[in-house]
C-alpha cells in the first residue's frame, strides 16, 4: 500500500526515471505535504561536458515550493547529485527537471504565480500563494526579460508614443505601443528625445527596422518630435484626438479660471439661479460630455449657456472641436477634415480668448499632423483603452511604486509576450 502512494505521487508530479518519490509526509496540523524525491541512478552524464557514465561525487540537499495539493502546501526535497567527471575533471551539480537552476520554486509554481500576477495586484497574488511579494517581483522581472528577448519587432509600422506618470506630475515613464498589433513594445523612465532614441535601439535589437515605421502618433511635446525626427526618418507624425481635445479642455479651463478671478461678480450673477455650489458644478460640467451631466451640472450648464460669459464661449469652442473630430470619424476624408478644422481655427483666432488663440496657433503650426490624427479613427480608441490598462498595471504594482516594478508588470500584461511559461492550470496545458 505504501509503495502505491509513492508511485501515485511520482506520476502526479510528472517525474520520470531516474527521479521518483521516495517518501510522502502529510502534516495535517500544519497543512503541509512534503515529498522526498530521489535520483535513483548510479552513474550520470556530466552536465558540463556531456560525458556519460560518470560517478556521483556527493549529494546536496535542496527544497522547492510546489503547487498546493488541495489545501496542503506542497514541498519537494531532494539530495541533488554532483557528478565528478573523469573526462573534463569538473565537479558539477546536475539540473533537476522540475525547476530552473537556482530557483526555490518549481517551474509549475512559478508559472502559476506569473499567471496570477497578470490578473491580480502582485501583493494580492503573493498573499494567495503564501510567499513573499519580493519573490514574485524577481520572477516577473526574470521571465519578462527572457520573453522580451525572444520577441520580434520586425514589420512594426505604426506606433504610438505616450507618457504616463507613477505619481501625479512626477516620475514620468514613456510607453511605446505597436498600434497595429496592439501591444506594448517599450517602456522606460523619462520623456525626452533620448527616450525615443532608446526605443529605436530596442526596436533594432528585436529585429525591427526604423525605416519601416511610417507613422507615429504622439502628443505635441517637442521632445518626442525631436527624437522621431532623428531616429525614425520615414515616419509621418500624427497627433491623436485624445491629446488635442485634452489641450482644448486645458485652454477652456484657463479661460474659466481667469474669468472667475477677474470678474467674480459677473460669474456670480450668471450662475445665481443654479444654487450655491454652481461654480464647482460648472467646472465639472464644462469638462464632461453633456450625456454625463448630473442634475446639478445641468442647472449650472444651463445658466452658463444663457450668459454672456467668456467661459460660455470657451465651452462652445471646445464642443465645436469635438464635433469636428466626430464628423471626421464619419466622413474620414482628408480634404473635408482639413477644411473643417480650418474653419474652427479661424473662429478660435478671432475669439479674443487668449488661451484659445494660443491653442489655435499651436494647431495651425502642426496642421498636417493634426489632420492625419483625425482620419482612420487611427489610434484614438486604442490609445484610450491602453491608458486604462496602464492604470491597472499601476494598481498591480501598488506598494512598489518604482518605475522598475511598474514597467515589469506593464510588459507582463500588455506586451502579448509569446514566450512566458504556461499556467499549469490553463485549459489545454500539458501538465
Ligand atoms: Zn565532464
pLDDT in tens, 31-59: 999 999 999 998 999 999 999 999 999 99
Cell 481635445 locates to 245
* Rounded Cα distance, 186 and 200, in Å: 9
User: Quick one: pLDDT at residue 2?
Assistant: 46
pLDDT in tens, 329-382: 899 999 999 999 999 999 999 999 999 999 999 999 999 999 998 986 655 567
Tell me the CA–centroid distance for residue 14 and ligand 1, in Å.
28
- Distance from the CA of 93 to the center of ligand 1, in angstroms? 11
Ligand 1 centroid – CA 94 distance (Å): 11
How many whole angstroms separate alpha carbon 180 and alpha carbon 258?
A: 42
Centroid of ligand 1 to alpha carbon of 44 (angstroms): 10
Q: How far is the CA of 84 from the centre of ligand 1 (A)?
A: 8
Taking the centre of ligand 1 as the mean of its atom positions, its distance from the CA of residue 96, in whole angstroms, is 17
- Ligand 1 centre from 86 Cα, in Å? 7
Q: Which one-letter DSSP state was computed for residue 353?
A: -
C-alpha of residue 26 to centroid of ligand 1, in Å? 39
50: CA distance to ligand 1 center in Å?
6
What grid cell was written down for 220?
Answer: 505635441
pTM listed for this prediction? 0.83
Q: 85 C-alpha vs ligand 1 centroid, how far in Å?
A: 5
Distance of alpha carbon 265 from alpha carbon 269, whole angstroms: 6
pLDDT given for residue 96 in this prediction: 94
What is the whole-number distance in angstroms between the Cα of residue 344 and the centre of ligand 1?
A: 77
Distance from Cα 146 to the centre of ligand 1, integer Å: 28
Determine the distance separating the centroid of ligand 1 and the alpha carbon of 63, expressed in angstroms: 26
b (16+ CB within 10 A) / e for 280-309: ebbbebbeeeeeebeebbebbbebbeebeb
Mean pLDDT (whole number) for 106-129:
93
- Cα distance between residue 21 and residue 6, in whole Å: 5
Per-residue pLDDT tens over the stretch 256-315: 999 999 999 999 888 887 777 888 889 999 999 899 999 989 989 999 999 999 999 999
What is the model's pLDDT at position 399? 72
Helix, strand, coil shares of the chain, percent, nearest 5, are: 50, 20, 30
Q: What is the DSSP string of 189-256?
A: E--SHHHHHHHHHHHHHTT--GGG--EEEE-S-HHHHHHHHHH-TTPEEEE-HHHHHHHHHHHHHHHH
Reported as a pLDDT band with limits 50, 70 and 90, residue 428 is low
Separation of 83 CA from ligand 1 center, angstroms? 8
Q: Quote the pLDDT of residue 3.
A: 54
Per-residue pLDDT, averaged over 74-87, amounts to 96
What distance in angstroms lies between residue 81's CA and the mean position of ligand 1's atoms?
14
- Measured in Å, residue 88 CA sits from the centre of ligand 1 at 4
pLDDT mean across residues, the chain: 90
Rounded distance from Cα 16 to ligand 1 centre (Å): 23
Question: What pLDDT, in 10s, does the model give residues 152-173?
Answer: 999 999 999 988 888 777 788 9
Tell me what pLDDT residue 430 has.
47
C-alpha 77 to ligand 1 mean position (Å): 26
Rounded percentage of the chain residues whose pLDDT exceeds 70: 95
Amino acid at each position: 500500500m505504501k509503495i502505491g502512494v509513492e508511485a501515485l505521487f511520482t506520476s502526479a508530479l510528472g517525474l520520470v526515471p531516474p527521479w521518483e518519490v521516495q517518501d510522502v509526509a502529510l502534516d495535517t496540523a500544519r497543512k503541509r505535504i512534503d515529498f522526498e524525491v530521489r535520483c535513483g541512478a548510479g552513474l550520470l552524464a556530466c552536465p558540463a561536458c556531456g560525458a556519460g557514465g560518470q560517478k556521483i561525487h556527493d549529494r546536496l540537499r535542496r527544497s522547492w515550493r510546489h503547487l498546493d495539493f488541495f489545501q496542503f502546501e506542497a514541498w519537494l526535497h531532494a539530495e541533488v547529485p554532483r557528478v565528478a567527471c573523469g573526462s573534463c575533471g569538473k565537479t558539477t551539480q546536475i539540473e533537476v527537471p522540475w525547476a530552473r537552476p537556482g530557483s526555490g520554486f518549481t517551474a509549475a509554481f512559478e508559472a502559476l504565480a506569473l499567471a496570477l500576477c497578470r490578473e491580480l495586484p502582485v501583493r494580492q497574488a503573493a498573499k494567495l500563494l503564501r510567499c513573499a511579494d519580493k519573490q514574485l517581483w524577481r520572477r516577473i522581472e526574470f521571465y519578462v526579460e527572457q520573453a522580451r528577448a525572444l520577441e520580434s519587432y520586425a514589420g512594426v509600422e505604426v506606433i504610438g508614443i505616450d507618457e504616463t506618470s507613477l505619481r501625479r506630475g512626477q516620475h514620468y515613464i514613456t510607453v511605446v505601443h505597436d498600434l497595429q498589433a496592439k501591444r506594448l513594445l517599450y517602456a522606460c523612465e523619462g520623456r525626452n528625445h533620448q527616450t525615443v532614441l532608446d526605443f529605436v535601439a530596442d526596436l533594432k535589437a528585436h529585429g525591427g527596422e526604423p525605416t519601416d515605421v511610417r507613422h507615429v502618433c504622439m502628443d505635441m511635446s517637442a521632445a518626442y518630435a525631436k527624437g522621431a525626427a532623428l531616429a525614425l526618418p520615414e515616419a509621418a507624425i500624427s497627433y491623436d484626438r485624445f491629446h488635442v481635445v485634452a489641450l482644448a479642455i486645458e485652454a477652456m479651463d484657463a479661460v474659466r479660471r481667469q474669468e472667475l478671478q477677474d470678474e467674480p461678480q459677473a460669474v456670480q450673477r450668471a450662475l445665481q439661479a443654479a444654487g450655491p455650489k454652481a461654480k464647482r458644478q460648472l467646472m465639472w460640467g464644462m469638462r464632461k460630455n453633456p450625456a454625463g451631466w448630473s442634475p446639478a451640472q445641468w442647472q449650472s450648464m444651463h445658466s452658463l449657456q444663457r450668459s454672456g460669459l467668456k467661459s460660455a464661449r470657451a465651452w462652445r469652442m471646445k464642443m465645436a472641436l469635438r464635433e469636428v473630430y466626430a464628423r471626421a470619424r464619419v466622413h474620414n476624408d482628408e480634404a473635408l477634415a482639413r477644411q473643417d478644422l480650418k474653419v474652427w481655427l479661424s473662429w478660435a483666432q478671432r475669439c479674443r480668448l487668449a488661451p484659445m488663440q494660443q491653442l489655435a496657433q499651436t494647431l495651425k503650426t502642426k496642421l498636417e499632423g493634426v489632420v492625419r490624427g483625425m482620419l482612420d479613427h487611427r489610434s484614438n480608441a486604442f490609445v484610450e483603452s491602453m491608458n486604462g490598462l496602464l492604470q491597472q498595471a499601476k494598481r498591480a504594482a501598488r506598494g512598489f511604486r518604482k518605475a522598475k516594478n511598474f514597467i515589469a508588470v506593464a510588459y507582463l500584461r500588455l506586451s502579448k509576450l509569446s514566450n512566458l511559461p504556461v499556467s499549469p492550470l490553463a485549459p489545454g496545458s500539458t501538465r
